Structure 1
Amino acid sequence: MDERRVTSAAELFDAIGAGYEDAFGRPPILTRAVRELLAVLPPGARVLDIGSGTGRPVAAELAAAGCRVTGLDVSPVMVELATRNVPDARFELADVRTWTSPPASWDAVCAYFPFLQMPRADTEAVLARVAEWLVPGGYLSLITVPMDAEDVPVEFLGHQVRLTSFAAPDLEARVAAAGLTVLSTHSEVFAPDQPGASPEEHLLLTARR
């Protein structure tokens, strides 16, 4: 039995820091997600980026296109990096599970991989809150690694973490249960640029309030 200490999300990304970009900073599906979002958002759109990391490429590209971006991250190191990398966006040290926002205050919410270290019940609760935060007609753009997994120990960049996710149909059902309409899904395989790393499926889900 593996008795290694499990690393929290904040500890993990504090430790990884800028090195995250070297291995995982720009999967091709991120380019697709940001491009599709910018194609439908109004000028000056208010965008919330959950799990904003280093701020690149997502917050950087949205801000460069004129969006008013606020990023949330549980890692102080990531918030510091993002603030430096993307001065035209705002970044907060916050856990989205306890963070609050007025109803109908965002034109779009991006959630690119933040739910993988979150219990399923917490993910469902956050999705429901996101639905309230979006303006009518606002968009949720979500990327995850789809699988039927709950609290599974995995090795990630030298750290022991616990992984939780949903299979694609189950995720769609949760998004719909939160009060959003799933518009499209797109899946592709990504091979991380790290020795010994295995290819993984990435799923982009776009929904609308």
Structure 2
Amino acid sequence: MSEELTTAAELFDAIGAGYEEAFGRRPVVDAAVRELLAVLPPAARVLDIGSGTGRPAAADLAAAGHRVTGIDVSAEMVRIAREQVPEAEFVQADLREWESEPGTWAAVCAFFAFLQLTRLETERALGRIADWLAPGGRFALVTVPADVEDVPVDFLGHSIRVTSFPADALADRVRAAGLEVTGTRAEAFAPGKPGAEPEEHVLISARKPG
């Protein structure tokens, strides 16, 4: 195991394409994207937070004709995503600092984007996402549910610290941000790379009233 990496940017710059090799097509992410494709109007504006390599989420949404913007804290992930999904826009940015006009997005995705944020930062991010969504807009959140805070774990050969919530507690925080939870789905996932342990994934689907 390497020495502890203190930021998400350092972690994902180091992992690069290896992340997609291990976690490429996760069933709950595919389910989240299918849900969005079923309800979004044509050419909808979609924000993909923690867009990673751009696949599968941004790629599938852009292929369906939606206008996708991905933000990721890792310069290497943004480079890979721009190469793999040229029909979408990718920006290197930290969610905690990135700004958007209120009511401008038909959908926001956040797939495993909060695991290296504090609980307070996650709550603040949910509030900002609710503000960014247009009335009736959709939010799809996928994470690893757990009652953990600042816990060291081994992830693809790197030591990192993670924070999460139990699924019910996270759904409560989505509601507290002003969004209506429309469904949840949980599934076990076994990554396809040595050093990546099986884990539970949960999808929380929500919409902004209006």
By the TM > 0.5 criterion, same fold? yes
**CA distance, structure 2, for counterparts of residue 12 and residue 26 of structure 1:** 20
2:4 is paired with a residue whose SS is: coil
Unaligned runs of 5+ in 1: none
Give the total of aligned pairs. 208
Q: Normalising to structure 1: TM-score of the pair?
A: 0.97
Moved more, 43-52 or 22-31: 22-31
**CA distance, structure 1, for counterparts of residue 70 and residue 84 of structure 2:** 12
**CA distance, structure 1, for counterparts of residue 51 and residue 61 of structure 2:** 12
The Cα offsets for residues 106-159 of structure 1, whole Å up to 9 and x where unpaired, read as 000000000001101000001000000000000100000001000000000111
Identity %: 63
Instruction: Look up the match of 1:15.
Output: 14
**CA distance, structure 2, for counterparts of residue 80 and residue 194 of structure 1:** 22
CA pair 65-148 structure 1, distance change in 2 beyond 3 A: same
Question: Would the aligned equivalents of 2:155 and 2:195 in 1 still touch at CA under 8 Å?
Answer: no
Matches for 1:142-157 after TM superposition, within 5 Å = 142-157=141-156
RMSD: 1.4
Structure 1 runs (4+) greater than 6 angstroms displaced: none
**CA distance, structure 2, for counterparts of residue 64 and residue 7 of structure 1:** 35
1:3 to partner: Cα distance: 11
1:6 to partner: Cα distance: 3.4
Instruction: Look up the match of 1:25.
Output: 24
Question: Would the aligned equivalents of 2:5 and 2:11 in 1 still touch at CA under 8 Å?
Answer: no
Instruction: Look up the match of 2:205.
Output: 206
**CA distance, structure 2, for counterparts of residue 91 and residue 198 of structure 1:** 29
CA pair 53-130 structure 1, distance change in 2 beyond 3 A: same
Q: Normalising to structure 2: TM-score of the pair?
A: 0.96
Q: Which amino acid aligns with 1:92?
A: V
Which fold has the larger relative contact order, with Cα–Cα distance below 8 Å and residues 6 or more apart in sequence? 2
1:116 is paired with a residue whose SS is: coil
Q: Which amino acid aligns with 2:85?
A: V
Instruction: Look up the match of 1:166.
Output: 165
1:84 is paired with a residue whose SS is: helix
